[in-house]
């Protein structure tokens, strides 16, 4: 399957989470009201302390972690959102907390490697 990026959607403005939905083949799990959030950077890590140390406010976090700790860190760090690769789903308690805190969480059909590759091609840096 070939995916194309309409770079025109990004010209003249910052990237938003809603720009990524089709490109990354995502299902929005939570935070629908915040899909217009601007994305400032990206970090891929499954190590929570790494994210606490390195993620910036407004960044996307790509992770295989599906626990409530992901939502707590995303909220505390002011992240733009979380992307779960490989069609992963949040645990029930994590999903409830993500909905409560309005944290955008997207589940992608792509692997973490593919997600990061697509974000890099769109000019998003970590």
Task: Please tell me the total count of domains within the chain.
Answer: 1
Residue-wise pLDDT for 18-77, tens only, equals 999 888 999 999 999 999 999 999 999 999 999 999 999 999 999 999 999 999 999 999
Residue 41 lies in a domain: yes
Residue 126 lies in a domain: no
> What is this structure's pTM?
0.89
Residue 44 lies in a domain: yes
**Domain containing residue 13: CATH number:** 3.40.1390.20
Residue 1 lies in a domain: no
- b/e map of 13-42 (b: 16 or more CB within 10 Å)? eebbbebbeebbbbeebbbeebbebebbbb
Of 58, 61, 96, 98, which Cα lies nearest the Cα of 80? 58
Residue-wise pLDDT for 75-122, tens only, equals 999 999 999 999 999 999 999 999 999 999 999 999 999 999 999 988
Of 122, 79, 68, which Cα lies nearest the Cα of 103? 79
Q: Are 36 and 18 in contact (CB under 8 A)?
A: yes
The range of the structural domain enclosing residue 32 comes to 7-121
Residue 2 lies in a domain: no
């Amino acid at each position: 399957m070939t995916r194309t990026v309409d770079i025109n959607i990004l010209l003249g403005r910052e990237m938003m989470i809603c720009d990524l939905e089709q490109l990354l083949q995502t299902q929005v799990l939570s935070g629908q009201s915040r899909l217009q959030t601007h994305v400032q950077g990206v970090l891929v890590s499954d190590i929570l302390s790494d994210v606490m140390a390195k993620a910036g406010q407004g960044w996307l976090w790509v992770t295989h972690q599906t626990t409530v700790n992901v939502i707590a860190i995303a909220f505390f760090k002011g992240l733009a959102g979380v992307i779960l690769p490989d069609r992963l789903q949040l645990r029930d308690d994590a999903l409830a907390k993500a909905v409560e805190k309005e944290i955008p969480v997207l589940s992608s059909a792509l692997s973490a490697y593919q997600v990061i590759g697509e974000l890099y091609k769109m000019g998003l840096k970590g």
